[in-house]
């Protein structure tokens, strides 16, 4: 059963320099690492949920994954993302208690600021 206090994260890796196979491999590696963090759920985003302008590969959106984490574990997961994705361009969408926050980052500094903003957003819900 999913708790109302869980936080939903959508992480989109945006690297136009990678070919689709390498980007899929990178996304699957990140997914495996996130699953090791004791999250409620983590999965690739199926093509049926395609946002406008997104690319698909093998039935899943290229470079996009979703995770659901408990409030208690959210800070750990966001910290992991900061360490793991610091120099990559990403879009992070955070959903907590029916509200959404969407941030973009393309450097370690921007990602740290985005994670701080996400943590404040979650704490305010």
70-73 long-range contacts (CB < 8 A, ≥24 apart) are: 70/3, 70/5, 70/6, 70/7, 70/40, 71/5, 71/6, 71/7, 71/96, 71/122, 73/37, 73/38, 73/39
pLDDT in tens, 47-56: 665 555 555 5
pLDDT digits (tens, 9 = 90+) for 59-91: 678 889 999 999 888 889 988 988 888 788 899
pLDDT tens for each residue of 104-123: 998 889 988 988 998 888 88
What's the pLDDT at 1?
38
3-state secondary structure of 101: strand
- Average model confidence (pLDDT) across the chain: 84
The whole-angstrom separation of Cα 26 and Cα 11 is: 12
Q: For the chain, give every domain's residue range.
A: 7-123
* 125: CB partners within 8 A, 6+ apart: 96, 97, 99
| Prediction pTM value | 0.82
Share of the chain above pLDDT 90, in %: 34
**Looking at the domain covering 7-123, what would its CATH class be?**
alpha beta
The pLDDT tens digits of the residues spanning 7-62 come to: 999 999 887 777 888 888 999 999 999 999 989 999 998 866 555 555 555 567 88
Q: Note the pLDDT of residue 20.
A: 83
């Amino acid at each position: 059963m999913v708790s109302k206090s869980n936080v939903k994260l959508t992480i989109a890796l945006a690297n136009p320099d990678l070919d689709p196979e390498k980007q899929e491999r990178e996304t699957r590696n990140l997914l495996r690492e996130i699953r090791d963090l004791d999250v409620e759920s983590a999965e690739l985003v199926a093509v049926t949920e395609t946002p406008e302008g997104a690319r698909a590969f093998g039935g899943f959106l290229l470079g996009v994954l979703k995770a659901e984490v408990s409030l208690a574990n959210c800070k750990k997961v966001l910290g992991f993302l900061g360490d793991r994705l610091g120099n990559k361009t990403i879009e992070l969408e955070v959903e907590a208690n029916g509200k959404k926050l969407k941030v973009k980052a393309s450097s370690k500094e921007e990602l740290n600021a985005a994670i701080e903003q996400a943590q404040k957003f979650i704490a305010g819900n």
